[in-house]
Amino acid sequence: MTKAWHVVTYDVRDDRRLRMVARLLEGYGERIQYSVFRCRLSRRDLSRLRWELVLVMAPEDNLLIIPLCERCGGNVSESNGRNWNDAAPTYRIV
Q: What CATH number has the domain bearing residue 56?
A: 3.30.70.240
pTM of the model: 0.80
Does residue 85 lie within any of the structural domains? no
Does residue 37 lie within any of the structural domains? yes
CA 4 centroid distance within chain: 11
Yes or no: say if 28 and 37 are a contact pair by the CB < 8 Å rule. Answer: yes
The total domain count for the chain is 1
Does residue 21 lie within any of the structural domains? yes
Does residue 35 lie within any of the structural domains? yes
Q: Residue 87 has what pLDDT? A: 53
| pLDDT tens sequence across 65-88 | 999 877 776 667 666 666 666 555
DSSP H or E stretch at residue 20:
helix 15-26
The parent domain of residue 55 ranges over: 4-70
| pLDDT tens sequence across 13-50 | 999 999 999 999 999 999 999 999 999 999 999 999 99
